[in-house]
Amino acid sequence: MIVRFAGLGLGAATLTTVAAASGNTNADVLPPSLDVSSFMAEPVTPRSTLIKDKDDMKVKMEMLIMKIQTDFCRALENEEDPSKKFIVDRWTRAEGGGGVTCVIQNGKTFEKAGVNVSVVHGILPVDAVRQMKARGKELIGKELPFFAAGISSVIHPSNPHVPTVHFNYRYFEVTQENGEKMWWFGGGTDLTPYYLVEEDVRHFHSTLKKACDLHDAGYYPKFKKWCDEYFLVSHRNESRGVGGIFFDDFEMHSQEDSFKFVKSCAESVIPSYVPLVKQHRNDPFTSAERDWQLLRRGRYVEFNLVYDRGTKFGLYTPGARIESILMSLPVYAKWEYMHSPSDGTPEAKLTEILRNPKEWI
CATH architecture of 47-355: 3-Layer(aba) Sandwich (3.40)
Q: Which amino acid is at 358?
A: K
166 is catalytic: yes
pLDDT band at 20; cut points 50, 70, 90: very low
Q: What is the pLDDT of residue 312?
A: 77
Q: Are the C-beta atoms of 151 and 168 separated by less than 8 Å?
A: yes
Q: What is the pLDDT of residue 135?
A: 61
Distance (Å, whole) CA 193 – CA 242 = 7
Q: What is the pLDDT of residue 253?
A: 80
This prediction's pTM: 0.89
Element at 84 (helix H, strand E): none
Q: What is the pLDDT of residue 123?
A: 87
| Confidence check: pLDDT of 242 > 70 | yes
| HEC sequence for the chain | CEEECCCCCCCCCHHHHHHHHCCCCHHHCCCHHHCCCCCCCCCCCCHHHHHHCCCCHHHHHHHHHHHHHHHHHHHHHCCCCCCCCCEEEEEECCCCEEEEEEEEECCCCEEEEEEEEEEEEEEECHHHHHHHHHCCCCCCCCCEEEEEEEEEEEEEECCCCCCEEEEEEEEEEEECCCCCEEEEEEEEEEEECCCCCHHHHHHHHHHHHHHHHCCCCCHHHHHHHHHHHHCEECCCCEECCCEEEEEEEECCCCHHHHHHHHHHHHHCHHHHHHHHHHHHCCCCCCHHHHHHHHHHHHHHHHHHHHCCHHHHHHHHCCCCCHHHHHHHCCCEEECCCCCCCCCCCHHHHHHHHHHCCCCCC
Q: What's the mean pLDDT in 239-264? A: 94
| Confidence check: pLDDT of 195 > 80 | yes
| Confidence check: pLDDT of 252 > 80 | no
Question: For the segment 44-55, what is each residue's pLDDT rounded down to a tens digit?
Answer: 999 999 999 999
Distance (Å, whole) CA 191 – CA 164 = 6
What's the chain's average pLDDT? Answer: 88
Which of 142-146, 182-186, 192-196 has the highest mean predicted lDDT (pLDDT)?
192-196
Distance (Å, whole) CA 59 – CA 314 = 21
Question: For the segment 293-339, what is each residue's pLDDT rounded down to a tens digit?
Answer: 999 999 999 999 998 877 877 777 777 778 888 888 999 999 999 99
Q: Which of 121, 156, 166, 280 is flagged as catalytic? A: 166
Q: What is the pLDDT of residue 313?
A: 74
| Confidence check: pLDDT of 142 > 90 | no
Distance (Å, whole) CA 219 – CA 216 = 6
- The dihedrals phi and psi of 205, each to the nearest 5 degrees, come to -65, -40
Q: What is the pLDDT of residue 6?
A: 36
Distance (Å, whole) CA 336 – CA 295 = 7
Question: For the segment 152-182, what is each residue's pLDDT rounded down to a tens digit?
Answer: 999 999 999 999 999 999 999 988 888 888 8
